[in-house]
Structure 1
Amino acid sequence: MAHYKATDSKREQFRRYLEKAGVMDSLTSVFVSLYEQPEKPTNALEYVQQHLGNVSQTSADTEALQQEVIDLRQRCARLTEENKDLKARLQQYEPASEEGSTAN
């Protein structure tokens, strides 16, 4: 009985390890993709092997792209603030009467 508990505990630790490493999500994604194929491939193992590599690349690419989006949003916010500041400073030097006139 004690042997059964130890084995069960090791299995649970291993399962948590796989989940934490993203293995379970990757496998699930590949299996879902295989399930959704209208025409099933003749060699399912080959399909899984090919697409499993793509899932890990996609995950790494996704993380890099998400970081890039965060960086670009921060840059955009800084530039917007700088633009507002420069417009306000420019207003100090432009006479109010020229705002309504058109340049020829």
Structure 2
Amino acid sequence: MAHYRASESKREQFRRYLEKSGVIDTLTSVLVALYTETDKPNDALDFIKLQLCAARSEPADAEALRVELADLQQKYNLLMEENQELRNRLMQYESTT
């Protein structure tokens, strides 16, 4: 009987660990999403995998990637403006000759 209580205690600890880390909530929301799908997917496991990937929090370097993207977007816009200016100047020189 003592073995039964020890394993029950381990189960309870594991359950609390899963609750604390958000695993139970995430799995529940994924399963609810599958349940509420009107068109059930052919491969439920793939659906669950996709949902779990979407539910994961962003990687630690996501903010750095966002900053880099904004910087590159700004550089791109500046280069596009410069390109347009150079094209306009080229058109002026070509039309005068």
**TM-score, normalised by the number of residues in structure 1:** 0.53
Where does the alignment leave 5 or more consecutive residues of structure 2 unmatched?
Answer: 59-97
Quote the residue 1:31 is aligned against: 31
Quote the residue 1:22 is aligned against: 22
Q: Give 1:39-54 correspondences, 5 Å limit.
A: 39-54=39-54
Distance 1:55 1:25 in 2: 11
Report deviation, 1:53: 1.2
Q: How many residues align?
A: 59
Q: Which runs of 4+ in 1 moved over 6 A?
A: none
* 1:2 lines up with 2:2 in the alignment: yes
Distance 2:2 2:42 in 1: 44
- CA-to-aligned-CA distance 1:52-103 (integer Å, 9 cap, x gap): 111123xx5xxxxxxxxxxxxxxxxxxxxxxxxxxxxxxxxxxxxxxxxxxx
Where does the alignment leave 5 or more consecutive residues of structure 1 unmatched?
Answer: 61-104
Q: Give 1:1-104 correspondences, 5 Å limit.
A: 1-57=1-57
Identity of aligned residues (%): 55
Q: What is the RMSD computed on CA atoms of the aligned residues?
A: 1.5
Distance 1:5 1:43 in 2: 39
**TM-score, normalised by the number of residues in structure 2:** 0.57
